[in-house]
Amino acid sequence: MNILEFTLLVWIGSVIAGLLGSLTGLGGGVVLVPLLTIFFKVDIRYAIGASLVSVIATSSGAAAAYVKEGFSNIRIGMFLEIATTMGALLGAFLATKVPTSAMAIIFGVMLLYSAFLARKPRARPPANEVPDPLATRLRLNGSFPTPEGIRRYNVRNVPTGFSLMFGAGTLSGLLGIGSGAVKVVAMDQAMKIPFKVSSTTSNFMIGVTAAASAGVYLNRGYIDPGLSMPVMLGVLAGSVLGTRILMKADTKLLRLVFSVVILLLGLEMIYKGLAGRI
- Which residues of the shown chain bind another protein in the complex (CB under 8 A)? 1-7, 36, 40-43, 45-46, 53, 56-57, 59-61, 63-65, 67-68, 70, 72, 74-75, 78-79, 81-82, 85-86, 88-89, 92, 138-139, 207-208, 210-216, 218-230, 232-233, 236
Number of Cβ within a 10 Å radius of residue 204: 25
CB-wise, 89 or 112, nearer to another protein? 89
CB-wise, 122 or 277, nearer to another protein? 277
Give one DSSP letter per residue of 183-221, joined into a string: HHHIIIIIT---HHHHHHHHHHHHHHHHHHHHHHHHHTT
Phi-psi region of 25 (alpha: psi -120 to 50; beta: other; left: phi over 0): left
CB-wise, 115 or 174, nearer to another protein? 174
CB-wise, 67 or 267, nearer to another protein? 67
CB-wise, 5 or 148, nearer to another protein? 5
The one-letter amino acid at 127 = A
Provide the minimum distance between the beta carbon of 26 and another protein in the complex, in angstroms, as a whole number.
Answer: 20
Provide the minimum distance between the beta carbon of 124 and another protein in the complex, in angstroms, as a whole number.
Answer: 25
Provide the minimum distance between the beta carbon of 41 and another protein in the complex, in angstroms, as a whole number.
Answer: 5
Residue 180 contacts by C-beta under 8 Å, 6 or more apart in sequence? 25, 26, 27, 199, 202, 203, 206
Residue 183 contacts by C-beta under 8 Å, 6 or more apart in sequence? 84, 165, 168, 198, 202, 205, 206
Provide the minimum distance between the beta carbon of 255 and another protein in the complex, in angstroms, as a whole number.
Answer: 26
CB-wise, 26 or 223, nearer to another protein? 223
Provide the minimum distance between the beta carbon of 76 and another protein in the complex, in angstroms, as a whole number.
Answer: 11
Provide the minimum distance between the beta carbon of 72 and another protein in the complex, in angstroms, as a whole number.
Answer: 8
Q: How far apart are CA 68 and CA 72, in angstroms?
A: 9
CB-wise, 79 or 107, nearer to another protein? 79
Burial of 159 (0-12, 13-18, 19+ CB in 10 A): exposed
Q: How far apart are CA 230 and CA 236, in angstroms?
A: 10
CA-to-CA separations, 126 to 37, 135, 155, 201, in angstroms, rounded = 42, 16, 11, 19
Provide the minimum distance between the beta carbon of 87 and another protein in the complex, in angstroms, as a whole number.
Answer: 10
